[in-house]
């Protein structure tokens, strides 16, 4: 188990029953980076990865 799995498990346990839009998620990611600019690169990589999940070239 990776250390980050704890955060993912907490997210599932606290908010796992909620439905959200990708626009809401994008807003939350932007708000997070505004507060924690040092995480801009990993958040950008995650967003790009999520955006391209269906792209056969990636």
Residue 29 CB coordination number (10 Å): 17
> Residue 57 has what pLDDT?
76
Spatial distance between the Cα atoms of 49 and 41, rounded to a whole number of angstroms: 12
Spatial distance between the Cα atoms of 53 and 45, rounded to a whole number of angstroms: 12
Q: Under a CB-based contact definition with an 8 Å cutoff, are residues 39 and 33 in contact?
A: yes
CA atoms within 13 A on the CB side of 7: 3
> Residue 5 has what pLDDT?
83
> Residue 1 has what pLDDT?
55
> Residue 47 has what pLDDT?
96
pLDDT along the chain (58 residues), means of 10: 77 94 96 98 96 84
User: What's the chain's Rg over C-alpha atoms?
Assistant: 13
């Amino acid at each position: 188990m990776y250390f980050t799995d704890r955060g993912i498990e907490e997210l599932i346990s606290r908010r796992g029953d909620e439905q959200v839009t990708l626009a809401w998620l994008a807003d939350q990611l932007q708000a997070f980076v505004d507060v924690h600019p040092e995480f801009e690169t990993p958040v950008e990589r995650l967003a790009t990865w999520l955006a391209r999940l269906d792209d056969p070239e990636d």
